A and B are shown apart, each in its own frame.
Chain A
Amino acid sequence: MRGQGPRSNESGEAARSSNLWRDGLRRLRKNRLAMAGGVVILLLCLVAVFADVLAPLPYTKTNFGRLNEAPSREFPLGTDQVGRDLLSRMIYGARVSMLVGLGAQIIVVLIGVPIGALSGYLGGRADICLTRFIDVMYAFPRLLFVILVMSALGAGLTNIFIAIGLTGWVGIARQTRAQVLAIKEKEFVDGARALGAGFGRLLTRHILPNALTPIVVSVTFGIPEAIFTEAALSFIGVGINPPTPSWGQMVGEGQQYIRSYWHLCVFPSIAIAVTMLSFTFFGDGVRDALDPKLK
């Protein structure tokens, strides 16, 4: 964290900022809910990374003799309608969810932050144009727009990144712009400018690092949103293509059989719910920790 902040020898402001991160971490540690969320997230990440080791069976392994079986010792979460081990599919599903959560946020940051920063920094006509553009994008109903993009691109993991990224950057762009607008008037920026710092250096070295707090918070909330969007897309069948498992897709297929085979949709639903909850707790914690004023 520290390395990303401005170097402490540059200004007094920067020294305070590095303390902010340390203070933040301290405050976060004290927040039990947030820490619990963090632990779950960490576990999920491990599951996602080591899915190949953890899963008892390959996610494609079917067993036509053992369809829709309820949880048992052999299949702890039961089997699905093609006789695949639900637990293994859930484990691989975690990988998809985490990939989407992080992958989409990378695209969101890569689009949203530069646009927001430019808009805020340049001001004037450029700002008006960019803000109007952001407003127009903001006006689209998010999920519908994602579905539209998905149907244009076709289903698939990469396309989900793109679809969520293309539609999700608006919020972060607005926040970045607001931050940059405020920070660019600060004395230390004037100071840096007076010392001869150019446009690029000012923005990347002096302004953005100080605008990071809300961006970080926004990203922590963006991840679960992306995960949920993927789940929703796969639920309605425009997300991940089978046989690759995704929690949303599993719920979508399983809910049709809920009265006959409850386990098909209950377990993936729990997984989605727990993941969302963990990210929300963690995100809340991060926000409270980094921005005590909000509390």
Chain B
Amino acid sequence: MKTPRITDAQVDLLAERLRAVGVGRREFLKVAAGLAAMGPAGFNHRPADAAPKLAPGEKLAKDQSFRYGGGGWWQDDPTSHDFNKDLYCNGVPALFAGLMKFNADHQSVLYVASKVTSNSDGSQWAFTIRKDSKWSDGSPCTARDFEWSWKRQLDPASAAPYAAFLYDIRNAQAFNKKEVTDPSQVGVRAKDDWTLEVTLEGPRGYFPVLAAYLAALPAHRASVEKHADKWTEAANIVCNGPFVLETWQHGQVMVLRKNKHFFGAKDVVLDKVTIPIVPVASGALPYENNELDLTSLQTGDLKRLQSNPKTVEEVFRYPFPGTWYLIPQVTKPPFDNLKVRRAVAHAIDRANIVKVAQGFAIPAHAMIPPGFPGALDDPKIKAIQHFDPKLAMAQLRGTPFEGGKNWPKVTLTMRDEALGSKPLAEAVQSVLLEHLNMKTDLEVLEPRVFRERLWKQDLQFVWIRWFMDYPDPHNEYFDTFYGKKTTGKRQAWVNDAFDRELEAGRDTRDPKKRMAAYAKAEEIMQTDVGYVPVAWTVRYAAAKPNVRGIERNRQGEFVLEANIYVDMLPHLYMIERA
């Protein structure tokens, strides 16, 4: 079957659906990128085999128990595991299986569905459900369960906060808003036990992407009807995912067991998963005390773990492509003066500044981190803003600030966020003082206030980062700096030649020409000092040496469980310790 075409207008609609459920632009773009990279098999891609691939000499451990958490995973007790009612319940996604799932490249692939078909314009979809799809009590999990679950989410009586997620389904919105009271009018119907037919409001080529998201997970009807809001307590829950919830001590720990009724159970190796609820502030302590097998790391901890010969091998990098940079606001003195901006650009001692990040940053000479499409290793680009304190001071000649004198009050503003960001900002302050005699005050604003003032372009001098959403320069330049952006524009700097290059990059298909356009854009922006790149981010996690099976993406980097990719646990396994 031919996959229906997904038009730009449809992608906009998809964005709207995801926005309705609080999925930020950033996450949406990841999904959109997965959509764009979808192969000829379309949504009927088989998920990668989860069975363990043992290296020679490795033996599966007898005890397949795995513990993870800390570093941002489950800082707070989940409100429930009822994703069907509230996708932000903060529950454990591995308890459930949807019709589709996202793989490590954020592509929607088959899961409970064994086949997806649609009519030619994508306004009607049929999901064929695996015959071995079962609930954890052994009863079949059928198309009727999905029909019931989606209608439950849409039912105004459920008051599900993110019901708008399913508004693509015919009459879903009307039903949710009580304009249609007959649930049979809603365009989702189990044709038989194994076929779910979905009729949409119009052509929606992306519908299987929605079906892969947390919000489309099913709920067990009998349990919901019997236990109401308490149905996801450990004693009550019936689920259909790779794991079941064995115990849940609120605010302390959750223990999962392998679900023997799960259709993919033969590929799931872990038998027991323990998830303690720990605040980020406890850092790597639980990991070092051997209470966790996997955790993500913070600044102080990384250095300690890396300097310990016992743990150095356990630390690994995972992609978190991001760029730290400065915005000298061209509408505010002294940065309205190009010479001042150039002086700042040459005064930034990147190699030294990143030292304070202690491994969580490397010097940046452009927007795109190395290894990603559009990364520039061009000496010409590197030269534009290279560090040279004499040259920096020389730029000030003929300005009122010659010799580093007469600086007005300069306030460097940053967002209040976790470890690592403030020392970098303080290092920037320090090099500006040292090389330009520019004294700056560092103002740390609460995130919401920061964003509001940033978008008003009300800040004089900004310390800020951009985390890459999907690996394409369009994201790093267009989504960030495009001058005609109407919302979320960070800097007052606008340059027509720069914008033209971005438009060329967007509208050209030839990859070589595209990359050339982006390289030119980078050159223009750096020459005019629309921004000053400072550092690229790096993130680290630590896993005990006997943990295996963490998936890698197409770039070959490890991917850890987050909000879109939630398929980590079924791939993991433990080997015997050497």
**Residues of A that sit less than 8 Å from B by CB:** 60, 62, 64-65, 67, 81-83, 151, 154-156, 237, 241-243, 253, 256-257, 259-261
Give the distance to chain B from A146, nearest Cβ to Cβ, in Å: 16
- Given A83-B356, A243-B430: A253 and B422 interface contact (C-beta under 8 Å): yes
B511 in contact (CB, < 8 A): no
Contact indicator A67/B355 (Cβ below 8 Å): yes
Q: What is the 8 Å Cβ interface bit string for chain B, positions 400-415, against chain A (1 contact, 0 not)?
A: 0000000000010000
C-alpha gap A237/B445 in the complex (Å): 9
- Given A82-B423, A259-B300, A261-B300: A65 and B444 interface contact (C-beta under 8 Å): no
Q: What is the 8 Å Cβ interface bit string for chain B, positions 231-244, against chain A (1 contact, 0 not)?
A: 00000000000000
B303 in contact (CB, < 8 A): yes
Of the A-B pairs whose beta carbons lie under 8 Å apart in the complex, a sample of 6, sorted by A's number, is: A62-B430, A64-B353, A81-B426, A82-B430, A256-B281, A260-B303
Known: A62-B426, A82-B426, A253-B422. 6 other contacts (CB 8 A): A81-B423, A82-B356, A154-B443, A242-B441, A256-B300, A260-B300
- Per DSSP, chain A at the interface is loop
C-alpha gap A135/B419 in the complex (Å): 41
Contact indicator B303/A155 (Cβ below 8 Å): no
Give the distance to chain B from A245, nearest Cβ to Cβ, in Å: 11
**Interface residue from B285, B358, B425 paired with A67 (Cβ < 8 Å):** B358
Give the distance to chain B from A266, nearest Cβ to Cβ, in Å: 14
B433 in contact (CB, < 8 A): yes
Contact indicator A64/B352 (Cβ below 8 Å): yes
C-alpha gap A60/B434 in the complex (Å): 9
**Residues of B that sit less than 8 Å from A by CB:** 281, 283, 285, 298-301, 303-304, 352-353, 355-356, 358, 411, 416, 419, 422-423, 425-427, 429-430, 433-434, 441-444, 446
Contact indicator B442/A82 (Cβ below 8 Å): no
- Given A67-B356, A83-B356, A155-B443: A256 and B430 interface contact (C-beta under 8 Å): no
A253 to chain B: which residues have CB within 8 Å?
Answer: 422
Contact indicator A82/B427 (Cβ below 8 Å): yes
Looking across the interface, which residue of chain B has its beta carbon closest to that of A84?
B430
Contact indicator A64/B356 (Cβ below 8 Å): yes
C-alpha gap A237/B352 in the complex (Å): 25
C-alpha gap A81/B285 in the complex (Å): 20
B301 to chain A: which residues have CB within 8 Å?
Answer: 259-260
**Interface residue from A62, A154, A256, A259 paired with B419 (Cβ < 8 Å):** A256
C-alpha gap A242/B419 in the complex (Å): 16
Give the distance to chain B from A166, nearest Cβ to Cβ, in Å: 21
C-alpha gap A62/B430 in the complex (Å): 7
Contact indicator A242/B429 (Cβ below 8 Å): yes
Q: Which 5 A-B pairs have CB atoms at the shortest separation, nearest pair first?
A: A260-B300, A62-B430, A257-B300, A64-B352, A242-B442
B299 to chain A: which residues have CB within 8 Å?
Answer: 257
Contact indicator B356/A242 (Cβ below 8 Å): no
B427 to chain A: which residues have CB within 8 Å?
Answer: 62, 64, 82
B356 to chain A: which residues have CB within 8 Å?
Answer: 64, 67, 81-83
C-alpha gap A153/B427 in the complex (Å): 26
Contact indicator A241/B442 (Cβ below 8 Å): yes
C-alpha gap A259/B304 in the complex (Å): 9
A257 to chain B: which residues have CB within 8 Å?
Answer: 299-300
A260 to chain B: which residues have CB within 8 Å?
Answer: 300-301, 303-304
C-alpha gap A253/B427 in the complex (Å): 14
Q: Which of A156, A253, A257 has the most CB of B within 10 A?
A: A257
Contact indicator B442/A243 (Cβ below 8 Å): yes
C-alpha gap A81/B300 in the complex (Å): 10
Contact indicator A64/B443 (Cβ below 8 Å): no
**Interface residue from B285, B352, B426, B433 paired with A259 (Cβ < 8 Å):** B285
C-alpha gap A242/B422 in the complex (Å): 10
C-alpha gap A161/B104 in the complex (Å): 54
Looking across the interface, which residue of chain B has its beta carbon closest to that of A154?
B443
- Given A82-B426, A256-B300: A60 and B441 interface contact (C-beta under 8 Å): no
Contact indicator A241/B443 (Cβ below 8 Å): yes
A60 to chain B: which residues have CB within 8 Å?
Answer: 429-430, 433
C-alpha gap A93/B427 in the complex (Å): 19
Looking across the interface, which residue of chain A has its beta carbon closest to that of B429?
A243
C-alpha gap A116/B94 in the complex (Å): 65
B411 to chain A: which residues have CB within 8 Å?
Answer: 241
A67 to chain B: which residues have CB within 8 Å?
Answer: 355-356, 358
Q: Which of A67, A241, A242 has the most CB of B within 10 A?
A: A242
Give the distance to chain B from A127, nearest Cβ to Cβ, in Å: 41
Looking across the interface, which residue of chain A has its beta carbon closest to that of B302?
A260
A156 to chain B: which residues have CB within 8 Å?
Answer: 441
B355 to chain A: which residues have CB within 8 Å?
Answer: 64-65, 67
Q: Which of B285, B423, B427 has the most CB of A within 10 A?
A: B423
Give the distance to chain A from B347, nearest Cβ to Cβ, in Å: 14
Looking across the interface, which residue of chain A has its beta carbon closest to that of B282?
A259
Looking across the interface, which residue of chain A has its beta carbon closest to that of B425?
A242
Give the distance to chain A from B163, nearest Cβ to Cβ, in Å: 36
Contact indicator B443/A243 (Cβ below 8 Å): no
Give the distance to chain B from A129, nearest Cβ to Cβ, in Å: 36
A65 to chain B: which residues have CB within 8 Å?
Answer: 355
Contact indicator A241/B430 (Cβ below 8 Å): no
Give the distance to chain B from A265, nearest Cβ to Cβ, in Å: 12
C-alpha gap A67/B299 in the complex (Å): 13
Looking across the interface, which residue of chain A has its beta carbon closest to that of B431?
A62
C-alpha gap A81/B359 in the complex (Å): 13
C-alpha gap A65/B430 in the complex (Å): 14
C-alpha gap A160/B139 in the complex (Å): 65
C-alpha gap A94/B213 in the complex (Å): 55
Give the distance to chain B from A59, nearest Cβ to Cβ, in Å: 11
Give the distance to chain B from A217, nearest Cβ to Cβ, in Å: 37
Looking across the interface, which residue of chain A has its beta carbon closest to that of B427?
A82
Looking across the interface, which residue of chain A has its beta carbon closest to that of B416?
A237
A256 to chain B: which residues have CB within 8 Å?
Answer: 281, 298, 300, 419
C-alpha gap A155/B281 in the complex (Å): 25
C-alpha gap A25/B498 in the complex (Å): 75
A259 to chain B: which residues have CB within 8 Å?
Answer: 283, 285, 300-301, 304
C-alpha gap A67/B303 in the complex (Å): 12
Give the distance to chain A from B420, nearest Cβ to Cβ, in Å: 9
Looking across the interface, which residue of chain B has its beta carbon closest to that of A65?
B355
Give the distance to chain A from B509, nearest Cβ to Cβ, in Å: 45
Give the distance to chain B from A88, nearest Cβ to Cβ, in Å: 14
C-alpha gap A228/B21 in the complex (Å): 44
Give the distance to chain A from B30, nearest Cβ to Cβ, in Å: 30
Give the distance to chain B from A148, nearest Cβ to Cβ, in Å: 13
Give the distance to chain B from A4, nearest Cβ to Cβ, in Å: 39
C-alpha gap A64/B428 in the complex (Å): 11
B419 to chain A: which residues have CB within 8 Å?
Answer: 256
Give the distance to chain A from B41, nearest Cβ to Cβ, in Å: 48
C-alpha gap A60/B446 in the complex (Å): 25
Q: Which of B303, B304, B426 has the most CB of A within 10 A?
A: B426
Looking across the interface, which residue of chain A has its beta carbon closest to that of B419?
A256
A241 to chain B: which residues have CB within 8 Å?
Answer: 411, 441-444
Give the distance to chain A from B374, nearest Cβ to Cβ, in Å: 30
A151 to chain B: which residues have CB within 8 Å?
Answer: 446
Give the distance to chain B from A92, nearest Cβ to Cβ, in Å: 14
Give the distance to chain A from B416, nearest Cβ to Cβ, in Å: 6
C-alpha gap A83/B434 in the complex (Å): 14
C-alpha gap A186/B304 in the complex (Å): 70
A64 to chain B: which residues have CB within 8 Å?
Answer: 352-353, 355-356, 427
Looking across the interface, which residue of chain B has its beta carbon closest to that of A244?
B441
